[in-house]
Amino acid sequence: MAFGSFNSTPNSAPMAEINVIPLVDIMLVLLVIFIITAPLLTHAVKIDLPKAESSPNVLKVDNVQLAIDGQGTVFWNGEVVDDVLLGQRMHAAGELPTHPEIHIHADRNARYETIAQVMSEAAKNGLSKIGFVTDPSHSTP
């Protein structure tokens, strides 16, 4: 590094510039090394892989349409079910390898107690994907 000149004048100040020549030398050496080694990294072994065709294995998740009317009647995909049959069907749906989604269509006048019981039964059987279906055309301002 250069700190000044060999001139011994009393008013000479130290050199305040950074000497970048060693940095440029190191960068050029590294550039040459990378230029030489880069073609060696692209060397690949030629092998003959077998050819196979397959279709993607897409599991489509089923859904269950649960409807609850104003009197508290529960419908499983359009069929009227009581509490016992609802529990059996929830248990059977929970045993499937892919749990179906539960879509609840609840009437405006349906009691919250009935909706809560249906959601509780679904949660007990491991059915955690529950959604409420609404009609956006009848929204009140």
Distances (CA, A) of 14 to 2, 5, 17: 9, 8, 9
* CATH number, residue 68: 3.30.420.270
Over residues 19-63, the pLDDT tens digits come to 888 899 999 999 999 898 887 777 666 766 667 676 765 656 688
Determine, yes or no, domain membership for 67. yes
Q: pTM of the full predicted structure?
A: 0.54
Determine, yes or no, domain membership for 80. yes
Determine, yes or no, domain membership for 6. no
Dist. CA 74–CA 81, nearest whole Å? 6
Number of domains in the chain: 1
Determine, yes or no, domain membership for 21. no
84 phi/psi in degrees, rounded to 5:
-70, -50
Domain limits for position 108:
63-136
Determine, yes or no, domain membership for 97. yes
- Rounded to an integer, the average pLDDT of 4-13 is 62
pLDDT given for residue 33 in this prediction: 92
Inform me whether the pLDDT recorded for 75 exceeds 60: yes
Determine, yes or no, domain membership for 46. no
Determine, yes or no, domain membership for 121. yes
